[in-house]
Structure 1
Amino acid sequence: MAENITTPLVSIIMPVYNSENYVVDAIESILKQQYNNWELIIVDDGSTDKSFEVISGYNSPKIKIFQIKNGGAAAARNFGYWQSKGCFVKFFDSDDLISPEMIEEQVKLASQHPNSIISAKWGRFYANDLSDFKISQEDCWQDLSALEWICSSWKYARSMTQPGIFLLPRHIIEKAGLWEANISQLDDTEYFTRTILQAKKVIFSPKSILYYRSGNPSSLSAKHSYAEAESSYQSLLLSISHLLCYKNNKQTRLLAANTLQEFLYKIYPDFKELAKTIALKINALGGSNLSYKTSPLADFLTNFLGWKLVKRLQKFRNA
């Protein structure tokens, strides 16, 4: 299909690393799209399993396959972008799925809103079982200005910016820049904070759905070393910097502090020195009002013992 005003080319960029058990499902969800004018750029990031063998089984002029030395998902996405030609781009992880109408619906809205990023619904499923898929309703599922979207998404300090949710105009990517290749954790938080703030609006596509696979032991989000925690912290600092450079007021500082507070709850007591550094940063932002909440019992005990002791007790119980 030749590219024209009504059917612009969409470049779907998929980094792959050790996804032999999932990548076929991801590719098939692209092949089932109702929209036809797309190119799928698959970048195998030095997989050590049979991922490259699996993806090499696809023989289509619409699918371009590359193999590079392992450098991380962000570097693989950048490499894929350099090979792409579409005026719209979707970064898409190799263990997720998208609904058949997603690209068509998002392109319609993108064509109507040329300076905007198009978002979508999303929900989780586990392993290979879509029967437990559940939509994760968010306040930001509406048409919002860039700043309004960030503030809404960060409201509960658990912003969801899984790459496949968004359709990005190429000219906005050119303004925002590509992925930070030296960040291995929460790289999507940094990238989409920076990129969304270059857009006029985020337009919500209610008919588009990302199926986000959780519980994949090889995913980056499943890793818990100090290096991953430090990388996550650096990503959050950059994300906060982008936000505060765009708008620095009481609201945005509180959102930033709460985002760091949620991360502090996550890493304590595993990385106590890093936790001290984060606590100082939270205080410098003006403090957080985000409570520690996990379960009714933990919430009750926190009122009397404090969240740090409760976290230590939880760690001892789970040891």
Structure 2
Amino acid sequence: MPLISVVIPVYNGEKTIKETIESVLKQTFYDWELIVINDGSSDRTLEIVQSISEPRLKVFTYPNAGLSASRNRGISLATGEYISFLDADDLWTPDKLEAQLQALQNNPQAAVAYSWSSCIDESGNIFRSGGNLTYTGDVYLYLLLINFVENGSNVLISTKALKEVGNFDETLTSCEDWDMWLRLAAKYEFVAVEKPQILYRISANSMSANLLRMEAESMQVINRKRGRDREDYQHIKRLSKGNFYKYLVFKALDLTPKSERGWIAAKLLWKAVRYDRNLLQTKVIWKVLFRIVAVIILPSQIAERLFIKMKRAAEITTIFSYLRLEP
């Protein structure tokens, strides 16, 4: 049996699936199996996967059921002592599995290892670093405050621990990975590899672009009871909601400028301020308002050119410096 099972769910991923699989084939750690769950793709995805000659690669095709169901199907087929998930448009650095496995073996009390992430564009170019936050041991309160794991392509998990907490929630179409990490953190310790090893792809058509769905489901995940929540956690949940609304404001304005996204950003900003009134006293609030107004009133291409020309006035990444990172 392989030591690690890697699960890649894919739906109509013909543009990226080969590169994603190749990032697994290039791993410096070799004792793995790769389980590709073809989630009812109607493009050339299956043809591309089947053209890859690799005895450790197994592909299974099912009717379309969504990301969570595909991950759960992969879990049921996995035979490794550890499991890692990789979305079909993301990439790993070659040392990802080796470094995370070493971290878990050096910290036998931990059941989950995670690394830092970098963001890549549709061409695979790195254009922004991730949060690069490091919390180890009992991380539950920190993870409830902010999803420092950042994406579903990150963790290496003890299979025993994963099966104890149960499958991914198939009623969630976003934030299902954060929900899973929280369930694991409620019972097990985490360990971090302090370097970027996950290349997380961001595109206008990615799941993360569906902001209103993310808003609704993130609030649902934050409010859930996980067996160790106490009444005094309410202030942490409030801080968590404020953090997530700041993130959603950034997401709305970081995507291709469209009028409807400007209106959504305005609504999200109002909610962010509701949870953190100190935001009104920051410089970034004026930059956010500038982008919102420009996105609403200007055609998309003109707004993009304006943001490039007035880069300093339109730069809103500093909103992340106002996230609450301590319980």
Above 0.5 in TM-score? yes
Comparing 65-74 with 245-254, greater Cα deviation is found at 245-254
The Cα shift of 1:270 comes to 4.1
The Cα shift of 1:74 comes to 0.8
The Cα shift of 1:41 comes to 0.4
2:45 to 43, 51, 72: 51
The Cα shift of 1:288 comes to 3.3
Q: Which residues of 2 match residues 229-240 of structure 1 at below 5 A?
A: 229-230=212-213, 232-240=215-223
TM-score normalized by the length of structure 1? 0.77
The Cα shift of 1:313 comes to 6.3
Q: Which residues of 2 match residues 110-189 of structure 1 at below 5 A?
A: 110-116=104-110, 117-130=112-125, 132-138=126-132, 140-150=133-143, 154=146, 159-189=148-178
Q: Secondary structure at the match of 2:73?
A: helix
The answer to whether the aligner puts 1:300 opposite 2:267 as a matched pair is no
CA RMSD of aligned residues (A): 3.4
Tell me if the contact between 1:15 and 1:44 (Cα under 8 Å) persists in the aligned partners.
Answer: yes
Distance of 1:101 and 1:264 partners within structure 2: 31
Q: Secondary structure at the match of 1:165?
A: coil
Tell me if the contact between 1:14 and 1:93 (Cα under 8 Å) persists in the aligned partners.
Answer: yes
The Cα shift of 1:79 comes to 0.6
The Cα shift of 1:223 comes to 3.7
Structure 2 residue aligned with 1:252: 236
1:30 to 13, 20, 24: 24
Structure 2 residue aligned with 1:222: 209
Distance of 1:289 and 1:194 partners within structure 2: 30
Distance 1:110 1:68, change over 3 A: same
Q: What amino acid is aligned across from residue 147 of structure 1 in structure 2?
A: Y
Distance 1:268 1:291, change over 3 A: farther
* Structure 1 unaligned regions, length at least 5: 4-8
Structure 1 residue aligned with 2:57: 63
Q: What amino acid is aligned across from residue 141 of structure 1 in structure 2?
A: T
Tell me if the contact between 2:40 and 2:64 (Cα under 8 Å) persists in the aligned partners.
Answer: yes
Q: Deviations over 1:6-39 (max 9, x none)?
A: xxx1111100011111111111111111111101
The Cα shift of 1:293 comes to 10
Tell me if the contact between 1:17 and 1:44 (Cα under 8 Å) persists in the aligned partners.
Answer: yes
The answer to whether the aligner puts 1:209 opposite 2:197 as a matched pair is yes
Q: What amino acid is aligned across from residue 38 of structure 1 in structure 2?
A: W
Q: Secondary structure at the match of 1:175?
A: helix
Distance of 2:228 and 2:263 partners within structure 1: 31
Q: Deviations over 1:146-188 (max 9, x none)?
A: 225415x61xxx7553122111111221222111112112222
Tell me if the contact between 2:186 and 2:228 (Cα under 8 Å) persists in the aligned partners.
Answer: no
Give % identity. Answer: 20
The Cα shift of 1:115 comes to 3.9
Tell me if the contact between 1:42 and 1:63 (Cα under 8 Å) persists in the aligned partners.
Answer: yes
TM-score normalized by the length of structure 2? 0.75
Q: What amino acid is aligned across from residue 256 of structure 1 in structure 2?
A: S
How many residues align structurally?
Answer: 288
Q: What amino acid is aligned across from residue 162 of structure 2 in structure 1?
A: I
The Cα shift of 1:120 comes to 0.4
The answer to whether the aligner puts 1:315 opposite 2:296 as a matched pair is yes
Q: Deviations over 1:117-149 (max 9, x none)?
A: 11101101112243x3543243x3243422254
Structure 2 residue aligned with 1:6: none
Q: What amino acid is aligned across from residue 197 of structure 2 in structure 1?
A: I
Q: Secondary structure at the match of 1:52?
A: helix
2:88 to 77, 90, 94: 94
Q: Deviations over 1:83-115 (max 9, x none)?
A: 111111101111111111111111111123234
Q: Deviations over 1:187-242 (max 9, x none)?
A: 22222222222212x2111256111112263x212345xxxx24641343123324
Distance of 2:213 and 2:227 partners within structure 1: 21
Q: Secondary structure at the match of 1:249?
A: helix
* Structure 2 unaligned regions, length at least 5: 253-260, 301-327
